[in-house]
Structure 1
Amino acid sequence: MPGPDTSVPLSVSEVNRRARQTLERDFGELWVEGELSGVSRPGSGHVYFTLKDERAQLRCALFRNRARFVAAPMRDGDLVKVRGRLSIFEPRGDYQLIVEAVQAAGVGELLAAFERLKTRLAAEGVFANARPLPYPPRHLLVLSSPTGAAIRDVLAVLAARWPLAKVTLIPVPVQGREAAPALISALGLLNRQSALDPGRDAILITRGGGSLEDLWAFNDEHLARAIFHSRLPVMSAVGHEVDVTLADFAADVRAPTPSAAAEQLVPDRRELAARLVALAGRLERAQLGRLEREAQRLDHLRARLRHPREALAR
């Protein structure tokens, strides 16, 4: 069977069409792992990004009808696995991967690294802190993001339970490469300042939930050591109940959520008010009972009382 006539020039569109058909036929569906870069979300709802490794890059397109099924956030620097088909966008001749699904990658490696570091720090005694926090603290120092849900939850619970609480927010990033160094620096500064201001007596480190990668800054070895060496007692409330970080182990107290941390730190004024009402009722009943007993004793003594003239008459 004779092959195609190579002497006849092809149009650009024909070349791109044949290249697209060849790619789609020969490769089929495949999984690709790499680091996200240049994530773009135009108004169309599609997501465009580049997958890269140490030596190459691959353009990708995640169309709107598939993007809505991707639960995990997609950010530059995340390591992911994507499933899709290679194709060519014929009008521009762009070689790209049409993505059908996205999964976080590297979780197994992160968990293994977490367990190794946890075992080593535990053997060194870094998780031995168990100092009680003052109840309630005179001046609570909160290390968290100023725009996150965690600080809103903490402040709302504190305001409802104990409006007298004095709280200072120290804004720090709670995700990404800058988070652990910023937290370590803030801890050092607060401990130095506490020598000048003894009223500062407790630290809360908190953020909301997220994936293992989102919370990874709180598994930093140097941060765990900084928490362990803090002169001020530290409570850690990172993520949801199922999330556990090295910061939780190194802290004096761990709370399962930011809201639970606030509940542990201060009493509930409503419960105290109800208790005061109950105690006032008990005090009033005890007072009335004592007065009644003394009145009866007085009546008894009055009945025994005789005028001296009776004795003289006898």
Structure 2
Amino acid sequence: MSASEEAQLDNFSSIFSLEGKVAVVTGGSRGLGLHTASGFLESGCSKVYITSRKPSSCEAAVAALNALPNKPPHATAIAVPADNSNLDELDRLVAAVSQTTDHVDILFANAGASWGERFDTYPADKFSKVMDLNVKSVFYTVQKFTPLLTARPTRDDPSRVIVTGSIAGLILGPLGANAGFSYSASKAAVMHLVRNLAVELGPRHVLCNAVAPGFFPSKLANGLIKVQGGLKHLEEKSPNRRLGRKEDIAGLVVFLASRAGGHMNGAVIPIDGGSHLMGRL
């Protein structure tokens, strides 16, 4: 191969484009899910299904997404409320999505929960709730969407499953009065689950990866940010001297969903400014 041939890249100008893709975002009504749904639409997705437990939150998110000034005119966000922790609700979710599409290109499994309490009084029901939503429901969400994910992909244009993990599953999570034992355990488990799914579903042309966010100011994280010393304190502790921004998470997930991430499978990518290198939250 000549140097001129080696220098030429295939359609590189559109390598981050999601033109015409169909995406489902669980936990998509706020926070990281909503940020990423915006990224999907502005990157060209034709349909983005937003699901979370509260119908009113889904509708508000969809209204905001459909009013985005930078999304293509054909791009549409669609609300499908569902409780992902309930397997019957997952069946209903898949059935509802199937009414308006015969395939799904991207599944962003982002729904999750946490609970903070000291070791000696940590409640069994809360531990189970967090594990069920953060691990078991992710597995069954992927399982139940697999027929749609495998409806149209090819080796060179695979579907994507992207799961939200956490750096709390890579290093020690919060301890003390607001310890996150179940959250840390669940995120470690779900990120390892992704590695298993990558090998299982890769031959079916479905790539599976996980993102491991650090602190991103959000309704879910703001309480923990306060407990950990506040925004300014955590920014000063971070190697890059800031916390996560909306564009950071949206950009990473869009990368994994696009041709740019077409050879990523079974990866767990920290997105925390390097904070996990410091050893613990």
For the criterion TM > 0.5, the same-fold answer is: no
Larger radius of gyration: 1
From the two aligned structures, give the one with the greater strand fraction. 1
TM-score with structure 1 length normalisation?
0.21
With CA pairs under 8 Å and 6+ residues apart, which has the higher RCO, 1 or 2?
Answer: 2
Considering fraction of residues, name the structure with more helix: 2
